[in-house]
Amino acid sequence: MVFNWFRRQYNDSSDKTSKETSKPEAEKEQKEQAEDKVESQAKSTEESGQTTEDYLSWAKAAYKNLQEKKKNDSQESQIATETSDVEEKPESQTPSTETKSEPIISDTLPIIEHIAAEKPEPTETDTLVKPVPIVEETPSSQTKPTEEETQVKPDSILEETQTSEQLPFWAKAQAERQARVERLKETAIEEPEPETLEKTTVETELEEIDPLILDEAFLWSAEILAAQGRRPDQVSVEEISWLTKLRKGLDRTRRNLLNQLRAIVGQGPLNQDAVMEIESMLLQADVGVEATDLVIETLQNKLREEVLPPEEAIAYLKSILRDILDQPFKDAETISPAYNLTFVPEKDTLNIWLVNGVNGAGKTTTIGKIAHLATKSNYRCLIAAADTFRAAAVEQLKIWGQRSEVEVIANAGKNTDPAAVVFDAIVAAQVRNTELLLVDTAGRLQNKKNLMDELSKIHRIVQKKAPDAVVESLLVLDATLGQNGLRQAEVFAKAAKLSGVVLTKLDGTAKGGVALAVVKQLGLPIRFIGVGESLEDLRPFSSYEFVEALLSG
């Protein structure tokens, strides 16, 4: 069974939902599922104090499963290596490799520069394919908090000087979590010391991508997955790794928010003065005026009804933020177009995703990362290099095509018509039964009118050549630009009939709150988020995971 990285589930019959069920019915079903999910998530968060033991055993079981899987995988790869030494290498099943030996479109479309995906060079590419570990690598550092952690997590200092009754609630929660990590360590490793710990530095490549370290990050990631109804046997190393990256990527934003929030709610039940302080805290995190106003108004309304103790105040704040992030789906019947709750390419159908954004926002990188998710999830994927205004853009895209092992359709000529590239790419996609065609569009034109004209032309070509395709239009936004990025976004929103946003570079900024501004001001859902430069550093957006990563101590 293949794991669908867009759906974050193993493929099942629901992949056929959109074909077998009518669209409104499928959307209704999706909506109900998502609402149930959000409700259960909120509940499990609030009740986390009561379910500590459950989470602990869940994490233990997940850890054990992952260790076993790792062991099996390494045994399998050992057998495969031994077999491949004596046997001829079998032909690859990937569409890209098939086209290498059979350049289908080159006869009919001679202008297309046909770039068959090649195996990446083992140097730079290799390091990109293998994500940089987020957790500390040396086993000895697994239990010790880094200097940075010690700074932001005062609990370890507090612990020594105060009894648990004197601790503020977040410090208690952290101390509790640390204690759980210790208990987990004592009981989870039911096997002898993992082999990897014995290995020398020459063999550390595997360890470098190994998030299987029983630390606080593992426990947090496990809790997040458990709270979303996942079973311990359904969890993969990559998912733990992603959540760890997400949380680490949001470190800067979280540190600022949490430090202030702790100071505010630490003063006692939330009152109107505290709400004002929350307002300035949100504005500083680039949450934007509109979203901040909404948060404050909702908090004030709640305060009129009841006093909120600190813990409940934070839980309530989290639920408000999640509601804002999920709003585009709820607006479906009224203001916004009906956005699909999940952003999953339909199997056995041509899905065309037009990727827009200014140069430097991370468009090329995003296309490469989505292509990687697609191939991992067993979709036949193709990339169209329609940003023909910058020769380097095409070259960069080819490199990302190689990394993700997806073919890139480009036109060799300079300043060629982007719409012609899209035309060629659609023909190629139809010939090959491609399921996901990712189109890189121009990042910058001389003026807004040119940009609008060009994007409209691309839309027209798509409609004409592939009337049955499922078309989505994504805007890639650089989170480090904060509010400034929103101005660019507004131009594209008018020109490109956007259906979602990809927020990149959340790892390099304290302005992660801009995600809320994007949703509130543009009315668009966030579809993917990027938290780093490597192939694995982009995943579908989850409001639950994002808010937990933003506000969990």
Ligand X SMILES: Nc1nc2c(ncn2[C@@H]2O[C@H](COP(=O)(O)OP(=O)(O)OP(=O)(O)O)[C@@H](O)[C@H]2O)c(=O)[nH]1
Q: Are strands 526-530 and 538-540 parallel, antiparallel or unpaired?
A: antiparallel
Out of 269, 508, 523, 553, the residue judged to bind ligand X by CB under 6 A: 508
C-alpha–C-alpha distance, residues 190 and 491, integer Å: 57
What residues have CB less than 8 Å from 441, skipping those under 6 apart?
Answer: 354, 355, 356, 386, 387, 418, 454, 455, 458, 496
Q: Is 530 annotated as a binding residue?
A: no
Interaction between residue 505 and ligand X (CB under 6 A): yes
CB of residue 213 to ligand X, shortest distance in Å: 23
How many CA atoms lie within 13 Å of 267's alpha carbon, on the beta-carbon side? 12
383, 407 contact by CB (below 8 A)? yes
520, 530 contact by CB (below 8 A)? no
CB of residue 359 to ligand X, shortest distance in Å: 3
C-alpha–C-alpha distance, residues 238 and 165, integer Å: 38
CB nearer to ligand X: pick between 174 and 365: 365
CB nearer to ligand X: pick between 530 and 540: 530
C-alpha R_g of the chain: 24
Strands, E assignment, 357-429:
381-385, 407-411
Q: Hey, is 245 helix, strand or coil?
A: helix
Interaction between residue 536 and ligand X (CB under 6 A): no
CB of residue 370 to ligand X, shortest distance in Å: 12
Place of tokens 């100071």: 263
In this structure, what are the phi and psi dihedrals at residue 407, rounded to the nearest 5 degrees?
A: -75, 145
Interaction between residue 238 and ligand X (CB under 6 A): no
C-alpha–C-alpha distance, residues 402 and 381, integer Å: 13
Out of 532, 540, 545, 550, the residue judged to bind ligand X by CB under 6 A: 532
Q: Is 507 annotated as a binding residue?
A: yes
Out of 504, 521, 542, 552, the residue judged to bind ligand X by CB under 6 A: 504
Out of 530, 547, 549, 552, the residue judged to bind ligand X by CB under 6 A: 530
CB of residue 250 to ligand X, shortest distance in Å: 12
Q: Is 342 annotated as a binding residue?
A: no
Q: Is 392 annotated as a binding residue?
A: no
Interaction between residue 359 and ligand X (CB under 6 A): yes
CB of residue 377 to ligand X, shortest distance in Å: 20
CB nearer to ligand X: pick between 6 and 58: 6
Angle, vertex CA 467, rays to CA 466 and CA 468, nearest 5: 90
- Span near ligand X by CB under 6 A; candidates 23-31, 237-245, 254-262, 499-507: 499-507
Site for ligand X in 54-73 (CB under 6 A): none
Q: What share of the chain is helix, strand, coil (3-state, %, to 5)?
A: 60, 10, 30
Size of the site for ligand X (CB under 6 A): 21
Q: How far apart are the first and last CA of the chain?
A: 36
CB of residue 534 to ligand X, shortest distance in Å: 9
Out of 361, 422, 437, 518, the residue judged to bind ligand X by CB under 6 A: 361
- Residues 396-415 as x/- pattern, contact with ligand X by CB under 6 A: x-------------------
CB of residue 131 to ligand X, shortest distance in Å: 12
CB nearer to ligand X: pick between 244 and 364: 364
Alpha helices in 306-330 (DSSP H): 310-330
400, 119 contact by CB (below 8 A)? no
In this structure, what are the phi and psi dihedrals at residue 326, rounded to the nearest 5 degrees?
A: -90, -5
Q: What is the DSSP string of 325-371?
A: HHHHHHGGGTTS----SS--PPTTS-EEEEEE--TTSSHHHHHHHHH
C-alpha–C-alpha distance, residues 186 and 350, integer Å: 51
Q: Is 360 annotated as a binding residue?
A: yes
Place of tokens 């009561």: 50
CB of residue 176 to ligand X, shortest distance in Å: 33
Pair of tokens at residue 284: 């500083």
In the complex, residue closest to ligand X by CB: 530
Q: Is 361 annotated as a binding residue?
A: yes
CB of residue 398 to ligand X, shortest distance in Å: 12
Out of 174, 241, 327, 365, the residue judged to bind ligand X by CB under 6 A: 365
Out of 393, 425, 451, 495, the residue judged to bind ligand X by CB under 6 A: 393
CB of residue 262 to ligand X, shortest distance in Å: 27
Interaction between residue 441 and ligand X (CB under 6 A): no
Interaction between residue 509 and ligand X (CB under 6 A): no
- Span near ligand X by CB under 6 A; candidates 113-121, 126-134, 356-364, 542-550: 356-364
Interaction between residue 357 and ligand X (CB under 6 A): yes
Count of residues making up the chain:
553
In which region does residue 497 sit, left (phi positive, over 0), alpha (psi from -120 to 50) or beta (all else)? Answer: left
Q: Is 384 annotated as a binding residue?
A: no
> Which residues in this chain contact ligand X in the complex, by CB under 6 A?
357, 359-365, 390, 393, 396, 443, 504-505, 507-508, 530-533, 537
